[in-house]
Amino acid sequence: MFPTTPPASTPTEPPLVLLVDDDAELTDVLSTIFLHHGFRVQAAHSASEARKALFSNLPDTAVIDLRLPDGSGEHVIEALRRRKGGDAVPVIVISAVADRETIAHIRASGADEYLIKPFQPLELVTIVRNSVARRRAAENLATREAHLQTVRLLAKAIEARDAYTGGHVERVRRYALKLAQALGWPPSQLSALEFGALLHDVGKITIPEHILNKPGPLTDEEARIMREHPRRGAQMLADLPYLRPLVPYVLYHHEHWDGTGYPEGLKGAEIPIEGRLLAVVDAYDAMTTARSYHPTPMSREEALEEIRREAGKAFDPYIAEVFIRLAEQGEI
């Protein structure tokens, strides 16, 4: 959604290696080895073939022979760097030329590695694998950061409508992360957790302001409208593939362990774990900060006491216990 350069292949697709060498026997052998190690390969036997290949597909890594029948490998590197996204593609030059000056010159012109022929094919596979892994890790980090910034912006926009909840979602994100780590959630789930915590009330954007900021109790009709926010939020996210994993946080954060919550009135372990976790941290922050319906916030001890009382009623008793322990240790 956000990367500044188009990814060569999606993370689930085998990485694509562009092999440029006029020695067809060598490219055949290397292609077989790369395919065997889980890569896709596109071979080119001249500079012009390589340029054509670059035009149709941006590789994840390019392996380029320096001496080509119709020009130098350097020109292929230049063509790659000019291509949109090509500046991020690792280049490994392979050549029988072994003098230091040439190697220094080629490195200075943008090659990441220089491998002198003859070389062990497995050595090349290792270099390519490492370079693809580094590139994908950097892309993932950049993409995640870009997403987080956008989601934060949206979360702030939602919060700005509510005079009392400044900083709420950011605290919920922080508490949720600590709680999930204490519960032993795998790191792969923490990204969705952070985004889910930030966007859990995204559906409130559809709630009229006079209901959102009403001092004192809501009428039955107003409460009914307010209680639509989890479902409305989930509907907003369901169509966006990247944000779909956030739906359980948005949809189920007001469910109660004893089945008295909303929107579905699920009970116990029927409630997805994402909703059970968020319910505790969301309620804790709501209790300890001023809200339109309770302008005087509870003390930390009072709020923890309330969570203890509600364990097994509103909250998953185990999650509530871990949260209380974390808070008592000063982690929250």
Using CB under 5 A as the binding rule, whether residue 201 contacts Fe ion is answered as yes
102, 206, 229, 302 from 167: Cα distances, Å: 57, 20, 19, 21
Strands 67-68 and 71-72, bridge-based pairing: antiparallel
Neighbour tally for 289: CB within 10 Å: 17
The minimum distance between CB 227 and Fe ion, in angstroms, equals 9
Using CB under 5 A as the binding rule, whether residue 194 contacts Fe ion is answered as no
The minimum distance between CB 212 and Fe ion, in angstroms, equals 11
Nearer to Fe ion, 178 or 231 (CB): 231
Nearer to Fe ion, 21 or 201 (CB): 201
Nearer to Fe ion, 135 or 200 (CB): 200
Residue in this structure with the two tokens 């889910």, named with its chain if needed? 196
The minimum distance between CB 291 and Fe ion, in angstroms, equals 12
Dihedral (Cα; 132, 137, 142, 147), 10-degree rounding: 120
Is 84 a residue of the active site? no
Nearer to Fe ion, 30 or 169 (CB): 169
Using CB under 5 A as the binding rule, whether residue 274 contacts Fe ion is answered as no
Q: Using CB under 5 A as the criterion, what x/- string covers residues 150-189 for binding Fe ion? A: ----------------------------------------
Q: Which of the stretches 38-46, 151-159, 197-205, 308-316 binds Fe ion when contact is defined by CB under 5 A?
A: 197-205
Phi and psi based region of residue 133 (left: phi greater than 0; alpha: psi -120 to 50; beta: remaining): alpha
Angle between helical axes of 273-288 and 168-182 (0-180°, round to 10): 130
Contact 117, 96 (CB under 8 A): yes
Q: Which of the stretches 80-88, 109-117, 200-208, 302-310 binds Fe ion when contact is defined by CB under 5 A?
A: 200-208
The minimum distance between CB 144 and Fe ion, in angstroms, equals 25
Residue among 297, 289, 15 nearest 128 (CA): 15
Q: Which residues bind Fe ion (CB under 5 A)?
A: 201
The catalytic residue positions are: 204
